[in-house]
Amino acid sequence: MSTPTLLVLDAEPLPRLGRLTGRARIEHTDASSLAERLPHADVLLVWDFTSHAVREAWPGGGPRPRWVHTASAGVDHLMCPELADSETVVTNARGVFDQPIAEYVAALVLAMAKDLPTTLRLQGERTWRHRESTRVAGTRACVVGSGPIGRAIARTLKALGITTALVGRTARTGVHGPDELDRLLARADWVVAAAPLTDDTRGMFDARRFGVMQPSARFVNVGRGQLVVEDDLAEALHRRWIAGAALDVLSREPLAPESPLWRVPDLIISPHMSGDTVGWRDELGAQFVELFESWAAGRPLANVVDKKRGYVPGH
């Protein structure tokens, strides 16, 4: 086999690919030149996983890479019908973000239960105001999304003494099916969205679903922004249908300064950072190098995405 060409859709800082020196012809591109360079690549590394450039460039003419890897858990930013219908293998960064996101969700749950946002605000105002907080042990959580991230969230919440139900695409041992979701939402103190974005999950958290939840419930989204109808969430919080929410992912990122979401009461907004711990980029780079070594040796690839479903099956 001749030396394969690895094309990297760049984002700063660049991935560390030194282990592939002499084993791959590494070329770099940005969105503006991706379309013209795709036909000459054997492998595409989507390092800029916030870009929609692949989805826009892929339908053009000429050969296409045999393998595409995205340095993210979600693949909706790159999938298009032409890629889904092709023979190109798509892999993702499954496994890198599971525990960091689970820890972040636990932090949000504790922050809302203990009313830390108010504590910090009052401290800034030099105001001493005693309050009571909520005990999380003994409460109930519903985690929507039964992949590795959802399972890590469930394990971490259970360690806090929270009774946790996991909801997936299909019912199986330890996982509830979608037909049970409304029943579980009606009983949950904490609802966590960690599902992939598919035709079935887009907009699944809307006015009806927020209406099903308890007035004391709190909602957290660490999945994809488009899982939530954000106007409906804002109305639910304004009307006190639910007690609070936290969004780490938004339908449009970055969230514009003029967005009314910034002013919604009892809403915590963070800039898509739940999985980004110190050293996470190095982990992503090392994961890709290991996958590349398997691919070059003709071994089966891990983390292969079902392009029709939009996620790695088998969990």
Whether 209 is catalytic is: no
Cβ–Cβ < 8 Å for 312, 121: no
Spot the catalytic one: 27, 82, 253, 290.
253
Residues in the chain: 315
Spot the catalytic one: 218, 224, 230, 281.
224
Tokens standing for residue 116: 């830390």
Q: How far is residue 228's CA from residue 201's CA, in Å, rounded to a whole number?
A: 9
Q: How far is residue 4's CA from residue 43's CA, in Å, rounded to a whole number?
A: 8
Tell me the three state secondary structure of residue 11: coil
- CB neighbours of residue 249 within 10 Å: 21
Spatial strand order of the sheet with 25-29 comes to 25-29, 5-9, 43-46, 67-70, 89-91
Give Cβ neighbours of residue 232 (< 8 Å, ≥ 6 apart).
Answer: 205, 206, 207, 210
Whether 66 is catalytic is: no
Q: How far is residue 251's CA from residue 216's CA, in Å, rounded to a whole number?
A: 25
Q: How far is residue 309's CA from residue 200's CA, in Å, rounded to a whole number?
A: 10
DSSP 8-state secondary structure symbol assigned to residue 71: S
- CB neighbours of residue 173 within 10 Å: 4
Tokens standing for residue 33: 């030149």
Whether 253 is catalytic is: yes
**Catalytic residue annotation:** 224, 253, 272
